[in-house]
Amino acid sequence: MVPFELTLIEAVTALRNRQLGHQEYVQALLQQIDRLDHLNAWISRDPERLIQQAIALDQASTEQPDNRLLAGIPLALKDNIDTSDLPTSGGTRALLGSRPRRNATVVEQLLQSGGLIAGKTNLHELALGGTNHNAVTGACRNPWNPLRIPGGSSGGSAVAVASRMVPAALGTDTGASVRLPAALCGIVGFRPSTGRYASQGILHLSPTKDTVGPMARSVADVVWLDGVLAQDLPDVPCVSLKGLRLGIPRGDFFQGADPQVLAVIEQVLETLASEGVECVELDVPDLTQHNDATGSSLVMFEMMQSLPAYVGAQGLSMDALLAGVGSPDVGQLLSRQLGHDRVTATVYAAAQVRRQKLQIAYARHFADHRLDALAFPTCLMTAPPVGHDDMVDLHGQQVPAFKTLIRNTDPGSNAGLPGISLPAGLTAEGLPVGLELDGPLGSDRHLLSVAAAIERALPRLPRPPMVYA
């Protein structure tokens, strides 16, 4: 048994059955964290506290087994989720020493279920980007190729899970930020229906769109965490692939993708079809029109309400926050919203109307075609090189980095839909590709059942080369 290779459920079982000691497990993870420090997955940790917690659990387990769902499992948290024992920095200079008075609700839920906090992970500064190239905390690096980005904004959480530093983690997702890094790092990332998980204690951008999301190396582990965070069952019904109906929106979500990405996805679809899945080629009417008028306006307007409230509670002003921003892309976004180019209340109100129309379009689409989910590439491309923050190369053309990275994940986010990214395979270059499944609003448990069935039909990815390098 290699302790750091265990999935979350495997580790829970080994600890509960005393096949593995809590301290032995924690030490194995800490050694992996130290060995792969150059990937820059973490912003703050307290390893000594973690070791002492493990020792206490070992001593207590000699008397009575701890049957809590997450007993003794170290988990990583994106550093925009409040913790009272570690700072919550948002990856920005002005908040590096910020100590929230209380834990976020989702953190309390993890702790009450027996989970331990392994530390706070690196993110795109203030979660305002898709590369995790942070000028304040340093670039986070992909374990499949450290010259490549892990994706953002929850890149540190994805790296920690993919490189076996922890079995699972929490990120946050506004337009892509759990599913994009999950896809680029070869793990599972789940964005629940907006409102499924508690939102208190998050450094929010957009309360309308933001949600915490679990990240792990298997769908079963994500289901386990969903049970804790949604106060639901820790498992989902088993469904058969035969007769499942997947919508394949080629015009809206496949067009313009890297041919290597498409090759992996097409192979997956062929496999699923051979297992009895009905793949229905279609497109969502008016999706682009409604979506383009929704997301950015919602986020920018709400950000200028939520950010001042959060930093004000820490005794800081927006001017102080802006002065400490190190990443040029984030500084430009904030400067525009603090100036004459900010999103107005009128534009925001129009975006809310468009969002409702987008939700209606999706709902009708799922119902009319009797779909279990939509299936498409999570991202149009594999992980681009670190440092390409403004423009990236997509099969020979320079295209805007952020819009390209989030193009496929953003529509579902704007509609508040549940979405999950599964590892679909590797390209010829050895980089992961993600398959996204989006379900109808509120269909989280069924979507997880569908994802688990699809995962069983696909070959597992090998471990990233950095794990044993």
Residues serving a catalytic function are 78, 153, 177
d(CA 149, CA 340): 33
Q: 336: which 2 tokens?
A: 């525009």
Looking at 388-457, list the stretches that DSSP marks H as alpha helix, in order from N- to C-terminal side. 401-406, 410-415, 444-457
Tokens 């950010």 belong to which residue? 307
Residues 6+ apart with CB under 8 A from 384: 131, 148, 149, 392, 393, 401
> Could you give the CA distance from residue 417 to residue 373 in angstroms, rounded to a whole number?
11
Partners of 42 in beta bridges? 121
User: How far is Cα 194 from Cα 366, in angstroms, rounded to an integer?
Assistant: 18
204 phi, psi to nearest 5 deg: -75, 150
E strand spans, 123-186: 133-134, 138-139, 168-173
Alpha carbon distance 366, 374 (integer Å): 8
β-bridge pairing 211-216 and 168-173: antiparallel
Q: C-alpha distances in angstroms, 356 versus 197, 349, 350?
A: 21, 11, 10
Antiparallel, parallel or unpaired: β 188-191 and 211-216: antiparallel
Q: Tell me how crowded residue 218 is: count the other CB atoms within 10 A of its CB.
A: 21
| Strand partners of residue 281 | 248
Q: What gap in Å lies between CA 368 and CA 10, rounded to an integer?
A: 40
Residue 57 makes CB contacts below 8 A (sequence gap 6+) with: 22, 66, 71, 72
How far is C-alpha 74 from the chain's CA centre? 18
Strands 188-191 and 168-173: unpaired
Question: Whole-angstrom Cα distance, residue 26 to residue 52?
Answer: 10
Burial of 260 (C-beta count, 10 Å sphere; 0-12/13-18/19+):
middle
**What tokens does 154 get?**
């929850």
- Strands (DSSP E) contained in 133-204 are 133-134, 138-139, 168-173, 188-191
E-state strands within 23-167: 42-44, 74-78, 116-121, 133-134, 138-139
Return d(Cα 328, Cα 86) in angstroms, integer: 27
